[in-house]
Structure 1
Amino acid sequence: MTEHVLVERRGPHLRLVLNRPERRNAITVAMYAALADAITAAQDDAELRVITLEGEGIDFTGGNDLADFMKAMPQDGETDIPVWRLLRALASNQVPLIAAVHGNAVGIGTTMLFHCDLVVAEEGTRFKMPFTELGLVPEAASSLILPALAGRQLAAKYLLLGESFGVEEAERFGLVTHRAEKGSLNERLGAVIATLLSRPPEALRLTQRLLRGTSQDEVLERMTWENGHFSERLTSEEVKNAITAFFTARLKA
């Protein structure tokens, strides 16, 4: 467990909060492990009726903590690293899952949303998946789910070019389900949670499973495919050069 992920139980509601605001909630290996453990454990909790993913501070998350991630690069054939465990947990989750996003949602901060049942986004939220900029490939089955949601051309815009997009566009192609005015994210989230908790719990769980249907196997298969390429890319000169350039640019900023 890590202090950078708050795990808070409120009766039938489990809150998972990214709590590293001084680093814009950049996700470390320890944070991935804490999130994966919490979501996995939730599957056996019959009293649990909703999980929320939230971020403390000015951003939902700035994505991977690259320095931390590169120190813990997966070895050849390794499939049980914390980030892969989190992605599998998200894809296999059977508890209604809501994300509340604001500020920046970068990299996995966007791709994890594809596995949420509902996404509440504050006006001004910026989504970005800069994988190719870093010499990497998409993860979280985003190469499968995003084209299915937005169409291949928009998916190429976001994944090949790494262009950012806002709440209005995200709502239009189906990533965002609820919009919140500036400063009202918690209020909007609370209303969605209250509606879910007013529904019969077994009906909720069964409906959530039906919505995921037979696509789960395909999603997990695509994750495995993506993860293989991702792991290979991490050892490439392209990635090393791109990440060096990223840190150099940040130091100059």
Structure 2
Amino acid sequence: MTQPTHAIEITRENGVLTITINRPERKNALTPAMYEAMNEALASAHEDASVRVVLLRGQPGIFTAGNDIEDFLKTPPTGNDSPVMRFLYAIAGAEKPLVASVAGAAVGVGTTLLLHCDMVYAADTASFAMPFAQLGLCAEAASSLLLPRIAGHQLAAEKLLLGEMFDAAEAHRMGFVNRVLPAAELDAFVAAQLAKLVALPASSLHVTKAFMKRASQHEIKARISAEAVQFGEMLRMPEAREAFTAFLQKRKPDFRQFDGAPDGAERGTRNASRPSDVQAVS
């Protein structure tokens, strides 16, 4: 059965709860209402004993372009109870296996959410980017913690600091994509992997995943929170305003205008938190 809600389609079939992002007119960009729908689906999956596995996918031919920038600027997330924060905590703490099927672009949170999935399969047409620095922001979804652990510091730094697009083969080499398949074969392969998982004892899946996550669970949630505090500070800084304005005006941002500018009130904004402040939060 399929339940469409705010461009999120929820399907339960053969032990799999599938969350499909379906907003093609905006490249599957995410809004608070869409995050809320996914939160409800994840909570439902947790409570439903017939659900063994959760699948995240995009439709058609794209995963997600990340947050809807226009919507994001109108209603930026505030506090741990915002829909996006509850979504990040939910995927970080999910007890049942999370599988992602990525066809097309996965941008921003579209990439960072994959770091919380247990298995990620991508089409050879998939692409990935974490352009937070390009937007005058910082990493989110605990990506500053998880990506260096998965890929190593240098590769993680290249992707998080430059924010450039990279392909599925590179994502596989980095270690957060399990396998890359021809686009025409992706759905069938993922379905076969899901069937294997569903055939296993639910208790085995649950306990094995719990042991895999136990040592890092608190640290991951603390980093999500710390990054969110920093992210919120930087969102109010002039560099971020320039980056978002340039994006909407379809031009390159000019960050040189801020070179040598004093911090704080003289720049018309609050100071961003220093690393010591972030450490205190985490």
Q: Contact 2:77–2:84 at 8 Å: present in 1 too?
A: no
> Matches of 1:212 and 1:173 in 2, distance apart?
20
Q: Contact 2:6–2:33 at 8 Å: present in 1 too?
A: no
Post-superposition Cα deviations, 1:79-124, rounded to whole Å, max 9, x if no partner, equal: 2111101000011100111000011000000000000000010012
Is 1:148 aligned with 2:158?
A: no
> Matches of 1:44 and 1:57 in 2, distance apart?
29
Post-superposition Cα deviations, 1:25-71, rounded to whole Å, max 9, x if no partner, equal: 01111111111221123222222100000101131111110111111
Q: Contact 2:6–2:37 at 8 Å: present in 1 too?
A: no
In the superposition, the TM-score normalised over structure 1's length comes to: 0.94
Q: Contact 1:24–1:58 at 8 Å: present in 2 too?
A: no
> Matches of 2:73 and 2:215 in 1, distance apart?
34
In our comparison, the structure showing a higher alpha carbon Rg is 2
Q: CA deviation at 1:74?
A: 3.4
**1:157 maps to what in 2?**
158
Bigger Cα displacement from structure 2, 37-46 vs 64-73: 37-46
User: Sequence identity, in percent?
Assistant: 44
Q: Gaps spanning 5+ residues in structure 2: where?
A: 252-282
Q: Contact 1:24–1:57 at 8 Å: present in 2 too?
A: no
Is 1:39 aligned with 2:39?
A: no
CA RMSD of aligned residues (A): 1.3
> Matches of 1:164 and 1:186 in 2, distance apart?
23
**1:90 maps to what in 2?**
91
> Matches of 1:24 and 1:14 in 2, distance apart?
23
Q: CA deviation at 1:227?
A: 0.4
Q: CA deviation at 1:179?
A: 1.9
> Matches of 1:137 and 1:36 in 2, distance apart?
24
- Of 52, 56, 75, which aligns to 2:55? 52
Is 1:103 aligned with 2:85?
A: no
> Matches of 2:57 and 2:93 in 1, distance apart?
20
**2:210 maps to what in 1?**
209
SS in 1 for 2:20: strand
Query: Aligned pair count?
Result: 248
Point out which structure has higher relative CO (alpha carbons under 8 A, 6+ apart).
Answer: 1
Is 1:5 aligned with 2:8?
A: yes
Q: Gaps spanning 5+ residues in structure 1: where?
A: none
> Matches of 1:58 and 1:177 in 2, distance apart?
19
Paired residues for 1:1-253 under 5 Å: 2-75=5-78, 78-249=79-250
Post-superposition Cα deviations, 1:139-165, rounded to whole Å, max 9, x if no partner, equal: 110000000011111111000111222
Q: Contact 2:120–2:176 at 8 Å: present in 1 too?
A: yes
In the superposition, the TM-score normalised over structure 2's length comes to: 0.85
> Matches of 1:20 and 1:63 in 2, distance apart?
12
